[in-house]
Amino acid sequence: MSRGAPAEVLVPAHVPRHPGLLGHQGTAAPHDLRRVGPPGGGAVVVTGRVRTAWDLARRLDLVEAVVAVDAPARPPGRVARCASTLPPC
């Protein structure tokens, strides 16, 4: 996914399209969904890690899928810190 790319959403077949969103028709089981956001309003429903990984693996080519699924498992900055210890090329 690149900056400026439309957000990808999972929608039932009868939901109309909206600008800025790339809809994929389908449904998710209740156990695949999570509500995120501040308490008292503004929350959104998203797919959990396993369902998101499954969806990415089905839609992307192998290399893009591995990168997309692996990236959230890496703490921010860890790769850069590790790379900074390597000798220059």
* SS3 assignment for 50-84: HHHHHHHHHHCCHHHHHHHHHHHHCCCCHHHHHHH
Structural domain contains residue 23: yes
Q: Which domain holds residue 46?
A: 7-84
Structural domain contains residue 69: yes
Write the pLDDT tens digit of every residue in 62-87. Answer: 898 888 888 777 766 776 777 777 77
Pair 56, 68: CB distance under 8 Å: yes
pLDDT at 89: 62
Question: pTM for this one?
Answer: 0.62
Structural domain contains residue 1: no
| Mean pLDDT across 53-59 | 86
Q: What token pair was written down for 19?
A: 């600008």
Write the pLDDT tens digit of every residue in 23-46. Answer: 888 888 999 999 888 878 888 888
Q: How many domains does the chain have?
A: 1
pLDDT at 65: 86
